[in-house]
């Protein structure tokens, strides 16, 4: 390093250069830390938002895939989702008498659907206080469950509040198609048949 100025002045200039370099380094480190902090905050923020979306999701379906099971009121035994791949299951809450979603409503929907597609099964959850009895001599088109496991029960309870039912396709499907329980049995039956036929064409519900 050459310096023609008096020695003391030269030392000052060298000090200043040193300080500037130190300042620049500090700014660069601060910039790096800020960018990293921004990245971490953005990553955590996005994942927290995604979790929040999932937590407040309104269309939670009970888990399917062979694990769909419960206690059958009629047979008194355990009901398990049939494993045959062609089987489509409509899962729903049985509502109050006279309402859309009552036992009589679903009996009619099941009858209409099964006339067109006999392999579609209907499984209703009969909560405490609901009337799930048949008229004398009436043929039962549904399986009626009185209880399910914790998660399924919770999902079904949520579905009941939203007036929803679900369509599952056999073991191979990983998802359920939500249905809004409409007032008209004929329309709902047609919707179920359409979902079934579309799922057969595409290979999943």
User: What single string gives the DSSP state of each residue in 22-62?
Assistant: HHHHHHHHHHHHHHHHHHHHHHHHHHHHHHHHHHT-S-PPP
Distance CA 190, CA 196 (A): 10
What is the rounded distance in angstroms from the CA atom of residue 92 to the CA atom of residue 70?
13
Among 65, 102, 146, 175, contact with another protein (rule: CB under 8 A): 146
Instruction: Please state the closest distance from residue 91 (CB atom) to another protein, in A.
Output: 15
H helical segments located in the chain:
7-55, 103-116, 150-161, 185-202
- Minimum CB separation of residue 113 from another protein in Å reads 26
Residue of 205, 182, 12 whose CA lies nearest to 106: 182
Using CB under 8 A, which of the segments 115-123, 134-142, 155-163, 165-173 binds another protein?
Answer: 155-163
Residue 14 lies near another protein (rule: CB under 8 A):
no
* Comparison of 28 and 140: residue with beta carbon closer to another protein: 28
- 109 to 138, contacts with another protein by CB under 8 A? 127-128
Cα–Cα distance, 33 to 130 (Å, whole number) = 61
- For residue 44 the two structure tokens come to 């955590």
- The residue count for binding another protein (CB under 8 A) is 41
Number of residues in the chain: 205
Task: Mark residues 75-114: x for contact with another protein by CB under 8 A, - for none.
Answer: --xx------------------------------------
Q: How far apart are CA 109 and CA 187, in angstroms?
A: 9
Q: By CB under 8 A, which span of 69-77, 82-90, 108-116, 189-197 interacts with another protein?
A: 69-77
Stretch that binds another protein, among 46-54, 134-142, 162-170, 175-183 (CB under 8 A): 46-54
Q: Is 151 in the site for another protein (CB under 8 A)?
A: yes
How many angstroms separate the CA atoms of 73 and 190, rounded?
A: 28
Query: Which residues contact another protein (rule: CB under 8 A)?
Result: 23-24, 27-28, 30-31, 34-35, 37-38, 41-42, 44-45, 48-49, 51-52, 55-56, 63, 67, 69-71, 77-78, 127-128, 146-154, 156-158
């Amino acid at each position: 390093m050459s310096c023609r100025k008096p020695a003391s002045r030269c030392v000052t200039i060298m000090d200043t250069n040193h300080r500037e370099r130190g300042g620049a380094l500090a700014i660069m480190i601060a910039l790096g830390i800020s960018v990293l902090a921004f990245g971490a905050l953005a990553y955590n923020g996005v994942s927290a938002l995604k979790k929040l979306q999932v937590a407040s999701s309104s269309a939670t379906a009970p888990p399917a895939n062979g694990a769909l099971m419960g206690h059958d009121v009629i047979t008194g035994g355990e009901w398990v989702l049939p494993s045959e791949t062609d089987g489509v299951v409509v899962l729903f809450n049985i509502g109050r008498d006279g309402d859309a979603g009552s036992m009589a409503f679903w009996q009619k929907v099941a009858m209409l659907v099964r006339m067109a597609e006999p392999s579609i099964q209907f499984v209703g959850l009969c909560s405490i206080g609901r009337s799930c009895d048949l008229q004398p001599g009436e043929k039962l088109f549904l399986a009626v469950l009185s209880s399910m496991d914790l998660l399924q029960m919770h999902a079904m309870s949520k579905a009941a509040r939203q007036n929803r039912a679900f369509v599952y396709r056999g073991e191979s499907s990983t998802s359920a198609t939500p249905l809004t329980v409409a007032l008209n049995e004929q329309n709902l039956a047609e919707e179920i048949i359409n979902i079934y036929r579309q799922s057969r064409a595409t290979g999943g519900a």
